Structure 1
């Protein structure tokens, strides 16, 4: 008998108009004991909705209307909620995409990790704490005996993701659900986390369901793959067979979109003398009060210089904490530097956005990584996208509404979403609203801070192609902050590698990845997962 047996699962959702539509249409699959099955597909395919039913849970506005979801022979759909609550954390556990959202910032990590054991009275608290330390060690966390005494803000993103795994595993579940747990991690941290997950799952002979849009990650951890589109299974089979002998056209489309194709020529205007639209000189920046030496308490950028030529694209890569996002915030005027300057078309900009003119603000827009925090949850999509149209261009009424529709078309969003709130959209949809808002200003430069990290490969490839098209039409220039090196390679003309707040190497896109000379650049490029099931095991431990 399989550990998980999903048969003819149907889930309905209620639309804005009150109409009910079927979003999961008769899905069936199994997961054997000790097997990890991946659910892949583009945004809106139903991956997370299906995964949540394995805990007997349906999202707000959704209802399980048919089929069975059996865990070790027990139907989660038919049993009462009290029964499902007893299983959550003990028989089935969930590891979320955003570990930060799973932790209370006011409580020590160890107290939160052992909470499941306390709630379900699984073991004495002393035994639970000892088991937590064992898990910290198995998950390759530093200082396993004492890391639990820290608070969430005192550990890195990769460490927090592994601590979320420890919280899920403390109850000894038979099934673990992974919901995009490495999406927001840089490539070097992602290897550490994947290797830790894989080791612990094998040691415990646990079954797993891994939700992801990243085929290279899935190739490293999954035994089987279920391909989903529009709430239906398109294809399923062993990982090797899906990656190398895919039968369904949609699966082949996903595989083809894994690495966006680079344009043969730069997207900017040709035969034009290079002229920097943005120039950064000797930036020093960080967080906290300035000391007597004029440096911030925590220095994030150390004399960083770079230039972006009009109509071209600069990629900025590096691991978490390298200073990439801080650089974008300083350029945008959101974080004044301690020293150094930023120029736009040869004119020095005020250090803070408040000191910049409306036109200077309009011409340089930033698209943030976390659309959840960048979008006002109380405003509709039309209002969010329309506000810069009024602020920068004075558009109101029908002219504004018509332009909102055009912008939604540009970022491949249905116009019917214009009345929805951000909370009613998928992660990929929210990020495209984020992009549409920036484009509404009609900027010259767009600072893209990890904007494809939350998108599935098909949508990410479409967004990259969209950005190239917009660049050709509008003569845009992009600064791409990313840990997705294939995306950087697909759209950027030059790439700057950062490490601990400093620029360690500058490369042209055609030099990637083999032209890197600096040891850190080589490490970074060697850490990018491949569509090869044996890749993770072949990576030397020094890289991971």
Structure 2
């Protein structure tokens, strides 16, 4: 069978600040058969997205396709000029990005954006395009397919927006669709819905697809073949079953091992409280939200509703739940970034002001928030040493040699070489940036770290390294964590206590080890059933189980 996509000897180079080019993709060759789904997997910086974008004839700023042949649907992409590439993009090759929220224009209705590729390429009149879009909405299992196109992007959920972006890609009946980490930012239950919709659409339409991901259990549900990448080179390729059950390369084995559930117990016990001593953190009937307050001062929309929670010194409390359940808002309330509308937050028995402006410098120092995305948390124009130096100067007054020595100690603490101190965030891998993000929080020498989905955007191997580091730092420094995640495998590995949030309320609270036993609250069971497993066919089994539970209410 003639391949729909063929790449031979692809070499992509990037230009450094000194003007010297260096390779980031090395002599990559691969092919995709018509109707096949090929997965590109590997760690951050492995070249997955760079190779996928080359099938659009595109290289990021500062990069260029230096050598090799790229053929898609009989066209040599690497030889086309810009007008020809514009005619190809969105027509012959379509792209589904990781962040639908960033891809959609918030000022335009959804329908206008979904049908735009078909109108640009002159494939059909507007009424026909709108009818086709509504048919795609139904095929992708979107609610109210006849009217969802009238809404604006902010009026639908993240999972719905991701499926709407897939509808946009499929509007032109492209020869090839590239899915670039399309479910990475979704919670586990939404991820199942989106994966099922993608898989059904690809199967029913006979679409050829390249699926970029670092999540091997997800890839196992949708891909026919897998190409394993590292450092811009192919390490191994084969059928999905062969990679899952009989990988031959050491790196492939490491990916498979990292995807297995972690069942390790927390490495150290919480510090015992002395008689009468207050806990490190105590929340009592905390309410927070948005919108105009009522007569009692409570917000119109409650995101966090009547939360009671305590964290002892050295304790790890896991907070799990779907997107929108209030996890991140709860952390922001504790940090003073989102004022509580009601209730109390105490630190070692002392009431905290509801905003950072009212808290003392020492109170700010003792509670630090580690944000989910290091890409947005770190200033791209500030070197690592300066990013770490600011809290050291603010909290401890360090300057000069003592400051440089403490920066070096922090880098060593998070297992990064001192040579990274002069680099900008853009010169680091995803895992390195997240460690710098963590080191900046540790610079304050806090008692409590609020970790907000700190491993969700990392590939399995790097995520495992960051998780191991957090466990080690807990033992070394006696840190307490509020660990926010939708990954129950991580909670099992690190948490002493787990709270499950739904609609801003705690529906279950239990020891972390109890997550492996039943029974649980039905919502907790739903979350547990939604965690992807490294097994072909898991997606259909999980969807059936979840559908049965939903039918039972």
Fold shared, TM-score > 0.5 on shorter chain: yes
1:131-530 equivalences in 2 (<5 Å): 131-259=132-260, 261-268=262-269, 276-530=279-533
Aligned residues: 544
Shift of residue 220, structure 1, vs aligned partner? 0.8
SS at match of 1:372: helix
Shift of 1:96: 0.9
Within a 5 Å distance, the mapping from 1:81-120 to structure 2 comes to: 81-120=82-121
| Alpha-carbon contact 2:304-2:330 (below 8 Å) kept | yes
* Partner-residue secondary structure (3-state), 1:283: strand
Q: Which runs of 5+ in 2 are unaligned?
A: 548-553
Paired residues of 2:50 and 2:59 also in contact (CA < 8 A)? yes
Moved more, 211-220 or 418-427: 418-427
Where 2:283 maps in the other structure, the secondary structure is strand
Say whether the 8 Å CA contact 2:281–2:347 is kept in structure 1.
Answer: yes
CA distance in 2, matches of 1:31, 1:282: 56
Q: 1:402 to 1:166 in 2, by over 3 A?
A: farther
- The answer to whether the Cα contact below 8 Å between 1:259 and 1:487 also exists between their aligned partners in 2 is no
* TM-score under structure 2 length normalisation: 0.94
TM-score, length of structure 1 as denominator length: 0.96
Aligned mates of 1:351, 1:270 — CA distance in 2: 27
Q: List per-residue Cα deviations over 1:308-338 (Å, max 9, x = no partner).
A: 1211100000111111111111111111111
* C-alpha contact 1:381 1:418 (8 A) present in aligned 2: yes
Q: What is the aligned partner in structure 2 of residue 51 from structure 1?
A: 52
| SS, match of residue 280 in structure 2 | strand
- How far 1:383 sits from its partner (Å)? 2.2
CA contact (8 A) 1:220 1:536 kept: yes
Q: 1:13 is matched with which residue?
A: 14
Partner residue in 2 for 1:63: 64
Greater shift, 107-116 or 13-22, is seen at: 13-22
Q: 1:189 to 1:183 in 2, by over 3 A?
A: same
Shift of residue 412, structure 1, vs aligned partner: 4.3
Q: How has the CA–CA distance of structure 1 residues 14 and 88 changed in structure 2, closer, same or farther, with 3 Å as cutoff?
A: same
Residue 428 of structure 1 contacts residue 454 of structure 1 at CA under 8 Å; is this kept in 2?
no
TM-superposition CA deviations, 1:235-285 (whole Å, max 9, x none)? 110111101111111111111112464444542466666962111111111
Q: Contact 1:266/1:493 (CA < 8 Å) preserved in 2?
A: no
- Retained in 2: the 8 A contact 1:260–1:461? no
Q: Secondary structure of the residue that 1:528 maps to in structure 2?
A: coil
| Alignment match, 1:24 | 25
3-state SS in 2 of match to 1:408: helix
* Contact 2:284–2:308 (CA under 8 A) maintained in structure 1: yes
RMSD: 1.8
Deviates more, 1:420-429 or 1:194-203: 420-429
* Residues 394-418 of structure 1: per-residue CA shift (max 9 Å, x gap): 1223332333333334434454544
Alpha-carbon contact 1:179-1:210 (below 8 Å) kept: yes
Structure 1 segments, 4+ long, off by >6 Å, are none
Partner of 1:218, secondary structure, is helix
Local SS of the residue matching 1:453: coil
Distance 1:435 1:182 in 2: 25
Cα distance in 2 between the residues matched to 1:363 and 1:159 = 39
Q: Contact between 1:269 and 1:472, CA under 8 Å: does it hold in 2?
A: no
Partners of 1:56 and 1:409 lie apart in 2 by 41
Q: Decide whether aligned partners of structure 1 residues 392 and 41 sit closer, same or farther in structure 2, where only a CA change above 3 A counts.
A: same
In structure 2, the CA distance between the partners of 1:352 and 1:259, relative to structure 1 (3 Å rule), is: farther
Q: Deviations over 1:155-209 (max 9, x none)?
A: 1111111111112111111111111111111100000000000011111111111
Q: What SS does the corresponding residue of 1:399 show, helix, strand or coil? A: helix
SS of the residue aligned with 2:291? strand
